Amino acid sequence: MDRVIVFVDDLMFLSRIREAARAHDLEVHAARTVADLVGACHEAPRLVIMDLDRARPPAVEALAALRAEPALSTLPVIGFFSHVHAERAREARDAGCTRAMPRSVFVQELDALLAEPTGPRSPA
């Protein structure tokens, strides 16, 4: 079974992602720490979903830890953020996020993102 790693604090949102993943026969692993995130990513997940507004530990710190690992440098990472924190998109892309989008767009595209067999494509 393919796997998705989720790095979010909001349990309701995690539940929403789990439900969507189940429809695509995807297992979801919720990482709580940077070490847990990096360790889980070494198990070859399809993609990582990250809340870019996460404060402890900061999402940008977690992205930096992922991208510091050569084996994880191309792993697809989808990040979402509150529309009031639009600067997080640039920060996340600079840190190695594959795609960063407002939470509302992420919710609309979640099913399609999970349906992509090899993870989401990088933006053009």
Please check whether residue 74 lies inside any domain of the structure: yes
- Identify the band that residue 121 occupies on the pLDDT scale cut at 50, 70 and 90: very low
Q: What's the pLDDT at 44?
A: 87
32-43 residue pLDDT tens? 999 999 999 999
Task: Please give the model's pTM, rounded to 2 decimal places.
Answer: 0.89
For residue 44, CA distances in Å to 9, 12, 95 come to 22, 26, 20
96-110 residue pLDDT tens? 899 999 999 999 999
Please check whether residue 67 lies inside any domain of the structure: yes
Number of domains in the chain: 1
Please check whether residue 23 lies inside any domain of the structure: yes
- The parent domain of residue 66 ranges over 3-115
CATH number at residue 72: 3.40.50.2300
Looking at the DSSP bridge assignments, the partners of residue 101 are 80
Contact 6, 46 (CB under 8 A): no
CA angle, 54 then 82 then 30, to 5°? 40
Please check whether residue 36 lies inside any domain of the structure: yes
